[in-house]
Amino acid sequence: MTEIENKTFPDGFTWGAATAAYQIEGAWNADGKGPSVWDAYTQQKGKIWDNDSGAVACDHYHRYASDVKLMGELGLQAYRMSISWPRVMPEGTGAVNQAGLDFYDRLVDELLEAGINPWVTLFHWDYPLALDYKGGWLAEDSPRWFADYTKVIIDRLSDRVTNWITLNEPQCFVGLGHHQGTHAPGHKLGLAKALRVAHNSLLAHGHAVSVIRAHSQLPASIGWAPVGNAYTPATNSPADEAAAMKAMGAVFDNSLWNNTWWADPVVLGSYPEEGLKLYGDAMPKIGPDDMAIISQPIDFYGCNIYTGMPCRAGDDSGFVDAEMPSGSPRNLFMWRVLPEAIYWCSKFLSERYNLPIVITENGVTCHDWVSLDGKVHDSQRLDFMTRYLQQLHRVIDDGVDVRGYFHWSLMDNFEWAEGYKHRFGLIHVDFETQQRTLKDSASWYRRIIDSNGACIFDESPHAAPQMVEDALIQ
């Protein structure tokens, strides 16, 4: 890397960590909560690794106060959390469960008291089961159901919460949940119906943006958090760089894994031509006002970036996958560890959509356990974070407006179809005893936050745990 002039991140840059309700809360049927599609899906044998579920998970519902204290020890400025729709509206529509709302009320207060800014995701996949029985995201009413739920949340929390994220990774809950059928609710719909689900979820996003704008008690900042589908150029030749950009704008046949099918409607107000051609007859009917509803202006583009796909220029000015050397680094999911993914994807999204970017998730799953010395030495996570943040700094240096970074995840949690196989946390959780242990990466992240990122260029991540421990003891 060439000499860096300004090593810190921009003033006001937000440093946070993220979680999602179903992955940490547990208390799946406490205090009037209704079941979600994940509660039902995890009860079917053979769907989840080790047949596990989020019924207890990190028991955060009961331990939120001590968890917020740990966030304080980490020095977090912001915390991205999600709300469980069926905890608040057990049937998905109609009756509101006050006890469920009270939980989020207490959590938000606790965060604010600790000086941590809550960023609230309205939908991170735990859809009310009762609504799935009524047709779920395929139903014509589904966008309105989401708008009504959003109104309940805004009425209750928008006197304190100002940062809102509508949907998390529609590519996943539509693609995996409604097309491939490997996530809840496990529907294997054909492409035409899956595209209808996609369209309804985009309408739901648009309605939610309008509801937040109309009813928020404080000025709101609104975004969403799709997957950042990253491609990186195999070499630094202009042709390969153009190929990577092209790949990030592409739509692929019979697949919902792309950036633009989702984001073009939301930001630009129309589906990408390439997708319209590819999907052809499978396209849902689009109502006359739909695109205007979907493209309500948002304030930031949140995106979740973990991995990427190297590619190079093809013969026909297109792109082709590029081989990586055998044995190149991968995480436990076998996703490539590719720090440049965060550089190229942020660059692409910023050029195409011209919105401030917030990295709403980035992290790595490693083999973490509590060592004989009682600590968790997750050195690969420290290294991963340092490399990705260096690339994020690089893209900011190139002029891209990136406003924040949320590490996934605050703590080890229920990793969807993978159960508890994968640990993504800065905090280790013993799921038997619910004992929390700050990993070495938690200390390094604290150091990063305290130095506004500068330490990633001139300190060794591996010295950080001891340094922070010494500082805390003094």
3-state class (DSSP) for residue 62: helix
Shortest CB 71 distance to ligand GCO, Å: 18
Q: Is 361 in the site for ligand GCO (CB under 6 A)?
A: yes
Helix (H, G, I), strand (E, B) or coil at 361: strand
C-alpha separations of 240 from 69, 338, 444 in Å: 47, 16, 35
Nearer Cβ to ligand GCO (304/386): 304
Helices assigned H by DSSP within 5-97: 21-24, 37-42, 60-74, 85-88
Binding mask 409-428 for ligand GCO (x = CB under 6 A): ------x--------x----
Q: Which two three-digit tokens encode residue 212?
A: 């937040």
Looking at the Cβ atoms of 295 and 360, the one nearer to ligand GCO is: 360
Half-sphere exposure of 402 (CA within 13 A, CB side): 28
| Of 9, 14, 16, 20, the one binding ligand GCO by CB under 6 A | 20
For position 169 contacting ligand GCO by CB under 6 A, the verdict is yes
| Binding of ligand GCO by 168 (CB under 6 A) | yes
Q: Which two tokens stand for residue 117?
A: 């800014």
Q: Which is nearer to ligand GCO, 179 or 312 (CB)?
A: 179
> Is residue 279 within the footprint of ligand GCO (CB under 6 A)?
no
Least distance to ligand GCO, CB of residue 419, Å: 12
Q: Given the complex with ligand GCO, which of 18 and 291 has the nearer CB atom?
A: 18
Question: For the chain, what percentages of helix, strand and coil (3-state, to nearest 5) are there?
Answer: 45, 15, 40
Residues in the chain: 474
What minimum distance in Å lies between the beta carbon of 113 and ligand GCO? 26
Of positions 21, 116, 122, 172, contacts ligand GCO by CB under 6 A: 172
Give the residue, chosen from 84, 304, 386, 437, that forms a contact with ligand GCO under the rule CB under 6 A.
304
Closer residue to ligand GCO, CB minimum distance, 13 or 416: 416
Q: Give the dihedral of Cα atoms 251, 252, 257, 261; nearest 10 deg.
A: 30
Is 37 a residue that touches ligand GCO (CB under 6 A)? no
Residues 107-136 binding ligand GCO (CB under 6 A) are none
Give the shortest CB-408-to-ligand GCO separation in angstroms. Answer: 5
> Does the protein bind ligand GCO through residue 429 (CB under 6 A)?
no
Tokens matching residue 447: 């150091």
Could you give the CA distance from residue 406 to residue 424 in angstroms, rounded to a whole number? 13
Six token digits for residue 244: 């990577």
Q: Which residues have CB under 8 Å from 427's CB, separation 6+?
A: 70, 74, 410, 411, 412, 436, 437, 438, 439, 442
Query: Which residues form the catalytic set?
Result: 169, 361
Stretch of residues binding ligand GCO (CB under 6 A), selected from 127-135, 166-174, 234-242, 427-435: 166-174
Q: Which residues bind ligand GCO (CB under 6 A)?
A: 20, 23, 168-169, 172, 304, 361, 408, 415, 424
